[in-house]
Amino acid sequence: MKIAVIGTGYVGLVTAVGLAEFGHNVIGTDKMADKIEKISRGEIPIYEPGLEVLLKSSLKKGNLAFSADVNETIQASDIIFVCVGTPQGDDGSADMSQIEEVSRFIAENLNGYKVVVEKSTVPVKTSSWIKRTISLYKKSDMDFDVASNPEFLREGSAVSDFLNPDRIIIGVETERARDILVKIYERAKDRLLITNIDTAELIKHASNSFLAMKISYINLMANLCEKTDANIEQVAKGMGLDPRIGSLFLKAGLGFGGSCFPKDLKALIKIGEDLGVNMNLLKETDRINAERARIFLEKIKKALWILKDKRIAVLGLAFKPDTDDIREGPSIRLITDLLDEGAVLRLYDPEAQNNMKELFPEDKARITYCRTPYEAAAGVNALLICTEWREFFELDLKKIKGLMANPIIVDGRNIYNPDDVRKIGFEYYSVGRK
Ligand code: UGA
């Protein structure tokens, strides 16, 4: 069986490489010819640990190829994984125009039975639209099936998440499609959950929104801790010891960002409201997250009072460690707010600087991008931690203190032990703990 993967964004590229690693014959395709050319040479357009090595090895083995000819790729394949973007539309709903376009391409190139697999995160009921679109535009009477196989990989650990998933959800409505997908994932057959398509689609949105809710919940508790003598890390630890709650995704901080949680939460709210379901629980989750940046800014003001012309170092621009992705990252809101207040910024991130420069270009008077955290700390009135990159845990804080004009750290990710940093002589503010 030949597999096509349409779309070479985060999910598409990892899916193509991962399915090739499972031993299948895969062709990845994308309209963006320059991107395809780069990937075909073994270069990845994103920073994702381990991905480039696997890409190169499958290209060399010969069971993975890339083509900018979407039509030809569809014709040559039996199974088509649809991995195009479903970005947020103006009203919060997912913009499905790329999925619709791909459905038409598939219809026009339907030269035999094919299984069309939704891999991108899509609203429940999308498969009905895909089916309708293919039926409307197909030129042959060839048969096809639509299936849902949502992806649960995380940026930064995408390769291992794909190759060793906790679960593989397969939403199907025919035996034929089911047998094909079960075969594709034979290597992980102990982790398969087979459902109908609506269920599979909803599992993805429900999972992301639940995790987002867990994060907003712990951030709400952090707000309470800040008004009392409670310590959020111990609260999270105590809660997490209950296996019904679990310890993961209980880290309080600047809130959730990235290309998934904020968008998927809003999309699910819209889906629910369109169906007449009260979605206030998730609206609150979103609201709590939106206020994280303001609460962090208040802490910076508590330390520095007036921010105009204050020199401030920001360590960490990516929305989370091990990625160069800044989309919906708390650092964007923070930098915007600090610039509005008239602060002078020294920014550092090991991987995300180039992406951030596109949003906030270097500007001698206001924004300097630095090559190391130490360079960023030079002469600043305060240092902010925005992303918990491993290297920030290991900084020589005595050296940092010596470089700064005022030894003040505002830590949005709770990466340091308050007693340790205070012993060095820092004034230290963090989240939900004294
Ligand atoms: C998320 C899901 O975890 C994946 O399962 C899913 O496949 C993916 O979205 C997607 O839909 O494509 P990702 O956005 O890569 O993955 O990142 P996460 O590791 O889930 O982190 C999301 C955000 O939550 C980050 O901003 C992170 O800083 C924040 N977070 C996470 C917290 O603030 N506290 C925590 O305890 C955990």
Report whether 351 contacts 324 (CB < 8 A): yes
| Same domain? 187 vs 209 | no
Does 151 fall in a domain? yes
Residue with the nearest Cα to atom 1 of ligand 1? 154
Mean pLDDT of the chain: 97
Q: Is the pLDDT of residue 37 over 90?
A: yes
In the predicted model, what is the mean pLDDT of residues 278-299? 97
- Whether residue 187 is found in the same domain as residue 275: no
Report percent pLDDT > 90 for the chain.
98
Q: Which of 152, 170, 195 is the last residue of a domain?
A: 195
pLDDT at 1: 87
CA-nearest residue, atom 21 of ligand 1? 256
Task: Return the CA Rg of the chain.
Answer: 24
Cα–Cα distances (Å) from 420 to 229, 246, 393, 396, 401, in that order, read 19, 28, 12, 12, 13
- b/e burial code for range 30-46 (CB count within 10 A of at least 16 → b): bbeeebbeebbeeebeb
- Mean pLDDT score, 251-275: 96
- The mean per-residue pLDDT over the stretch 244-248 comes to 97
Classify residue 245: in a domain, yes or no: yes
Atom of ligand 1 minimally distant from the CA of 329: 26
Task: Tell me which residue has its CA closest to atom 27 in ligand 1.
Answer: 256
pLDDT for position 41: 96
> How many residues in total does the chain contain?
434
Residue 434 and residue 225: Cα distance in Å, rounded? 9
Could you tell me which residues come within 8 angstroms of residue 160 by beta carbon, excluding any fewer than 6 positions away? 50
Q: Are residues 188 and 278 in the same domain?
A: no
> How far, in Å, is the centroid of ligand 1 from the Cα of 289?
13
pLDDT tens per residue across span 311-334: 999 999 999 999 999 999 999 999
Neighbours of 400 (CB within 10 A): 23
How far apart (Å, rounded) are the C-alpha atoms in residues 226 and 401? 26
CA distance 385 to 303: 14
The pLDDT confidence band at residue 171, using thresholds 50, 70 and 90, is very high
Q: What is the mean pLDDT of residues 23-28?
A: 97
Q: What integer pLDDT is reported at residue 175 of this predicted model?
A: 98
332 lines ligand 1 (CB under 6 A): no
> Rounded to 5 degrees, what angle do the CA atoms 138, 179, 74 make?
30
Q: Is residue 434 part of a domain?
A: no
How high is the pLDDT of residue 432? 98
Distance CA 160, CA 42 (A): 19
Q: How far is the CA of 261 from the centre of ligand 1 (A)?
A: 7
Please give the average per-residue pLDDT across 193-217, as a whole number: 98
What's the rounded Cα separation, in Å, for the pair 144 and 141? 10
Same domain, 341 and 408: yes
Judge if 28 and 169 occupy the same domain: yes
Ligand 1 in contact with 257 (CB < 6 A)? yes
Same domain, yes or no, for 42 and 147?
A: yes
Query: What is residue 275's predicted lDDT score, i.e. its pLDDT?
Result: 96
Residues 102 and 163 in one domain: yes
pTM over 0.85: yes
Do 17 and 37 belong to one domain? Answer: yes
The verdict on whether 386 is a catalytic residue reads no
Is there a contact between 59 and 65 (Cβ–Cβ < 8 Å)? yes
pLDDT of the residue at 371? 98
Is residue 152 lining ligand 1, measured as CB closer than 6 Å?
yes
| pLDDT of 192 | 97
Condensed to tens digits (0 to 9), the pLDDT of residues 121-156 reads 999 999 999 999 999 999 989 999 999 999 999 999
Spatial CB neighbours of 23, under 8 Å, sequence gap ≥ 6: 63
What CATH number does the domain containing 241 carry? 1.10.1040.10
Which of 131, 162, 195 is at the close of a domain? 195
Per the structure, how many domains does the chain have? 3
- Amino acid 410: pLDDT: 98
CA distance 228 to 216: 19
258 lines ligand 1 (CB under 6 A): yes
Q: Which domain holds residue 422?
A: 292-429
Q: Are residues 86 and 225 in the same domain?
A: no
How confident is the model over 372-406, as pLDDT tens digits? 999 999 999 999 999 999 999 999 999 999 999 99
Which of 286, 305, 328 is the last residue before a domain boundary?
286
Six token digits for residue 259: 């290309």
**Does residue 371 belong to any structural domain of this protein?**
yes
Query: For residue 334, what pLDDT is reported?
Result: 96
Is 430:411 a contact under the CB 8 Å cutoff? yes
